[in-house]
Amino acid sequence: MTELDVAGLQRRLAAFAAARDWGQYHTPKNLAVALSVEASELVEIFQWLTPQQSARVMEEPDTAHRVADEVADVLAYLLQFCAVLGVDPLAALAAKIDRNEARFPVPAPPQPENRHSSE
Amino acid sequence: MTELDVAGLQRRLAAFAAARDWGQYHTPKNLAVALSVEASELVEIFQWLTPQQSARVMEEPDTAHRVADEVADVLAYLLQFCAVLGVDPLAALAAKIDRNEARFPVPAPPQPENRHSSE
Amino acid sequence: MTELDVAGLQRRLAAFAAARDWGQYHTPKNLAVALSVEASELVEIFQWLTPQQSARVMEEPDTAHRVADEVADVLAYLLQFCAVLGVDPLAALAAKIDRNEARFPVPAPPQPENRHSSE
Amino acid sequence: MTELDVAGLQRRLAAFAAARDWGQYHTPKNLAVALSVEASELVEIFQWLTPQQSARVMEEPDTAHRVADEVADVLAYLLQFCAVLGVDPLAALAAKIDRNEARFPVPAPPQPENRHSSE
């Protein structure tokens, strides 16, 4: 039975690394670097595509699988990085959205013109 | 009240982008590229640190805040990328861990020595 | 008088780092990571642009300066990386082009149609 | 006879791409993205190495070849990016070193103690 929440996946990743004695490699620096390497592997799928082609990558099963696989790798290193440093990624994102809502206010909708506004 | 699960954060991110008419920029290609740019901003914090120094970045409040902020940016683009393409990031990671457990079997523990094995 | 060849720039970069005692940070790993961080800063300029907009970035003086500045940073770390490891970047590229010419043969041009070829 | 200067390599790269009709893919945005993808492939070689191990990568012939190959890829995309946008990479770097010499002045050497300074 697969645990499909963030904390459950972090526990599986930690157990996986511990069983293989990989913890020695998992410094925060190395995990951040590995995250960026995997993000670039995701980008590589798209690098020569037009914006329109990039919207259709899931139509081809091999490419769809490759996309999901790279997403998994990015998330794996992000969650391990967060576990090692004690960062809660969901709370960090919620706080960031809060800040961005203040920083980038929604533009007011255009007002209907009122020709008689001075009356 | 903040929704602190992945689906809830994806809804907030989608509403945020829609309110600002940013959806036009959010092609899968651009979101993957933005993810990798943010991952590099996370790496930048660590680039000149020794492995030992990298383990202590959360001790300094400004750096700790910067780390959490970049984690949020990485996760924001990862979740938006997944929403646009219909990828479930947690399911993708669970499937990847399953595959990796088969691909990288845990080494057998060393056998207890049997002094009398030749008898 | 500025030395405008690769070896001359490598000498200037080495002297610059030595005068500031930065050599201790310049492990091959750190220089490769710094190179990729700078490459991402170059990408950041383009991340939300359409292909067409990306072709016009030099028309705006501030953006043109930013592009040249990031190119310089990428090249600086590439040349320092090569100097530390004894790689000749121009020779490496020439050898790679040679290999690629064999690997990706030029497609034969379409043959002129000959209506009477069977005669 | 191989042209081993930057302009000569840029001519070879342009001819190579033109012969294969790849110019259509070589928008500045795509070339910047390809540059960052190749930079990450260079980083990948180092991602789990200690600083000490990273200094010895050229001792193993396969790894040495891989390093040179990724250096070539990074330089290839950097030079093509510069050619497409009309940036002179060597001049950009020389100008950047000039600016950095002003921005990061060399610390004054420690002064020899003068025991009789008050006399």
| pLDDT tens digit sequence for A69-97 | 999 999 999 999 999 999 999 999 999 99
| pLDDT tens digits along D50-59 | 999 999 999 9
Decide if D43 and A25 are in contact by the 8 Å CB cutoff: no
Asked if B90 and B47 count as a contact pair (C-beta separation under 8 A), the reply is no
Decide if D36 and A40 are in contact by the 8 Å CB cutoff: yes
Decide if D9 and C94 are in contact by the 8 Å CB cutoff: yes
Q: Chains touching chain D at 3 or more Cβ pairs under 8 angstroms?
A: A, B, C
Decide if C30 and B41 are in contact by the 8 Å CB cutoff: no
Helices B61-85 and B28-46 cross at an angle (nearest 10°) of: 160
* Owning domain of residue B57: 6-99
If one counts the domains in chain B, the total is 1
Q: Chains touching chain C at 3 or more Cβ pairs under 8 angstroms?
A: A, B, D
Q: What value does the mean pLDDT take over residues D91-100?
A: 97
Measured between beta carbons, the chain D residues lying within 8 angstroms of C81 are 42, 71
B118 assigned to some structural domain:
no
D116 assigned to some structural domain:
no
The shortest CB-CB distance from B37 to any of C25, C30, C40 is to C40
The shortest CB-CB distance from A33 to any of C33, C40, C51 is to C33
B23 assigned to some structural domain:
yes
- Provide the token pair at B100: 């990796």
pLDDT at residue B1, rounded to an integer: 39
D107 assigned to some structural domain:
no
Which CATH number goes with the domain that contains C83?
A: 1.10.287.1080
pLDDT at residue A115, rounded to an integer: 53
D1 assigned to some structural domain:
no
Predicted confidence pLDDT, tens digits, chain A (119 residues): 445 799 999 999 999 999 999 999 999 999 999 999 999 999 999 999 999 999 999 999 999 999 999 999 999 999 999 999 999 999 999 999 999 999 999 987 777 665 554 44
Asked if B77 and A50 count as a contact pair (C-beta separation under 8 A), the reply is no
Give the separation between CA D25 and CA A73, rounded to whole angstroms: 27
B48 touches chain A (CB under 8 A): no
D105 assigned to some structural domain:
no
C29 assigned to some structural domain:
yes
For the cut 90, the answer to whether the pLDDT of residue B111 exceeds it is no
B55 assigned to some structural domain:
yes
Write down the pTM of the prediction. 0.91
Nearest to A74 by CA among B42, D31, C47, C42: B42
pLDDT at residue B117, rounded to an integer: 47
- Provide the token pair at D79: 């030079």
pLDDT at residue C114, rounded to an integer: 55
B52 touches chain D (CB under 8 A): no
Give the count of Cβ contacts less than 8 A between chain C and D.
Answer: 178
